[in-house]
């Protein structure tokens, strides 16, 4: 096998030349692709008994990639959605390889032909207004941590920022004058501004007067002055939701994550009569189609539409009777 077909060489060029230099992808994309190939090489060590640096392109054929994807679902318990994300990274690599190693186009095309798996699209989960208020009331605002957590959760529930956008906010990203808003860099490194309610503006005004922790520049720092991690935010949210259970029992039946707060912000806007195209801009969605999922979750809108329908007239139901054995077979499915 030619040295150029060594996977280590191709992977290095894929990350440094294609992703970083040519496409200039975000750090989040790099991290996601890195994790995919880390899992792939760990699987190869067990299945092929080869170290990652010894792998050749011929080792990564469609049969091997298919076995890896199955292993993700069976042994690691990955969802179909996660499996598809891993496959997206692998496809990107093989599209790059198709130009670097055209002699292996047959192998590459077979890998690229591996289909994504269909999966159930679950309805979005969100909190009602009483549930949001119970969570916001949970932090102990007599302490620095409690005041930080309350302000963070209030901003998250009102702005609908993604978790990465929220933890990435700096103090100078907040504008509290006329037209109060926060600026963030979202998915696809698109900068956007999100307006603040009077309540959120007042909370942030009070929070920014708090003494700085070790010269922190992050709007919501940890006790050491650094940025909060995603796990830290999930942990503090879980802690306050458990406290909120006492005053709002309906929260016990819900799994509340930072993304649920984002969904809740979207549903608040929808219930207020805001158009979907405006909500898409507010949340930083690439397409209005993404925002349509909130319409599916909004039961009140469906009930209002149902009330406008004319009821069916009572009559005898007729059942389809197949007159052919093939039609009978299809009817039985």
Q: What is the pLDDT of residue 314?
A: 60
pLDDT at 248 over 60: yes
- Tokens 């039961």 -> residue: 299
Taking only the tens place, the pLDDT of each residue in 19-38 is: 999 999 888 889 999 999 99
Q: pTM for the complete prediction?
A: 0.70
Taking only the tens place, the pLDDT of each residue in 269-282 is: 888 888 888 888 88
CA pair distance 50, 146, nearest whole angstrom? 51
Please list the residues that pair with 6 across neighbouring strands: 56
- Local confidence band at 4 (pLDDT 50, 70, 90 cut-offs): very low
Taking only the tens place, the pLDDT of each residue in 177-203 is: 888 999 998 777 788 899 999 999 999
Q: What is the pLDDT of residue 28?
A: 82
CA pair distance 190, 169, nearest whole angstrom? 14
Which tokens hold the place of 305? 């539409």
Mean pLDDT, rounded, for 292-308:
63
Q: Are 56 and 1 in contact (CB under 8 A)?
A: yes
- Tokens 């692709």 -> residue: 33
Alpha helices for the chain (secondary structure H): 7-13, 27-47, 62-74, 80-100, 105-112, 129-137, 144-159, 163-167, 198-207, 230-244, 258-271, 276-283, 288-297, 299-307, 325-332
Q: What is the pLDDT of residue 203?
A: 95
- Total residues found in the chain within this entry: 333
pLDDT at 301 over 80: no
Catalytic residues: 162, 187, 259, 262, 285, 294
Q: What is the pLDDT of residue 312?
A: 63
Question: What percent of the chain has a predicted confidence (pLDDT) above 90?
Answer: 62
Please list the residues that pair with 290 across neighbouring strands: none
Mean pLDDT, rounded, for 303-327:
65
Residues 6+ apart with CB under 8 A from 308: none
CA pair distance 164, 181, nearest whole angstrom? 18
Residues 6+ apart with CB under 8 A from 246: none
Q: What is the pLDDT of residue 2?
A: 44
- Local confidence band at 308 (pLDDT 50, 70, 90 cut-offs): low
How does 221-250 read in b/e, with b if 16+ C-beta sit within 10 Å?
bbeeeebbeeeebeebbeebbeebeeebee
Quote the mean pLDDT of the chain. Answer: 87
Q: Is 176 helix (H, G, I), strand (E, B) or coil?
A: coil
Q: What is the pLDDT of residue 218?
A: 92
- Local confidence band at 3 (pLDDT 50, 70, 90 cut-offs): very low
CA pair distance 197, 195, nearest whole angstrom? 7
pLDDT at 207 over 70: yes
Taking only the tens place, the pLDDT of each residue in 134-144 is: 999 999 999 99
Task: Return the number of other C-beta atoms located less than 10 Å from residue 291's C-beta.
Answer: 21
Please list the residues that pair with 192 across neighbouring strands: 184
């Amino acid at each position: 096998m030619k040295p150029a077909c060594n996977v280590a060489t191709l992977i290095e060029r894929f990350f440094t030349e294609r992703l970083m230099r040519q496409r200039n992808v975000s750090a989040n994309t790099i991290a996601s692709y890195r994790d995919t190939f880390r899992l792939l090489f760990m699987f190869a060590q067990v299945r092929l008994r080869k170290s990652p640096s010894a792998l050749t392109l011929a080792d990564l054929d469609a049969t091997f990639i298919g076995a890896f994807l199955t292993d993700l679902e069976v042994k690691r318990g990955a969802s179909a959605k996660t499996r598809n994300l891993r496959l997206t990274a692998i496809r990107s690599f093989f599209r790059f390889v198709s130009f670097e190693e055209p002699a292996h186009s047959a192998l590459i095309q077979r890998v690229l032909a591996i289909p994504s798996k269909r999966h159930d699209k679950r309805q979005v989960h969100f909190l009602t207004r009483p549930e949001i208020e119970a969570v916001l009331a949970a932090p102990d605002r007599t302490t620095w941590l409690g005041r930080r957590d309350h302000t963070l959760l209030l901003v998250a529930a009102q702005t609908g920022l993604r978790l990465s956008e929220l933890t990435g906010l700096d103090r100078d990203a907040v504008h509290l004058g006329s037209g109060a808003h926060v600026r963030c860099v979202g998915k696809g490194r698109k900068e956007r501004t999100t307006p603040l309610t009077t309540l959120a503006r007042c909370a942030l005004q009070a929070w920014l007067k708090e003494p700085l922790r070790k010269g922190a520049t992050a709007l919501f720092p940890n006790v050491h002055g650094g940025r909060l991690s995603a796990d830290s935010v999930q942990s503090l949210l879980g802690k306050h939701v458990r406290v909120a259970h006492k005053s709002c029992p309906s929260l016990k039946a819900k799994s509340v994550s930072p993304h649920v707060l984002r969904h809740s912000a979207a549903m608040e806007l929808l219930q207020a009569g805001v158009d979907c195209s405006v909500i898409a801009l507010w949340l930083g969605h690439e397409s209005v189609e993404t925002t349509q999922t909130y319409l599916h979750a909004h039961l009140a809108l469906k009930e209002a539409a149902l009330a406008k329908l004319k009821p069916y007239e009572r009559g005898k139901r007729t059942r389809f009777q197949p007159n052919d054995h093939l039609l009978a077979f299809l009817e039985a499915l």
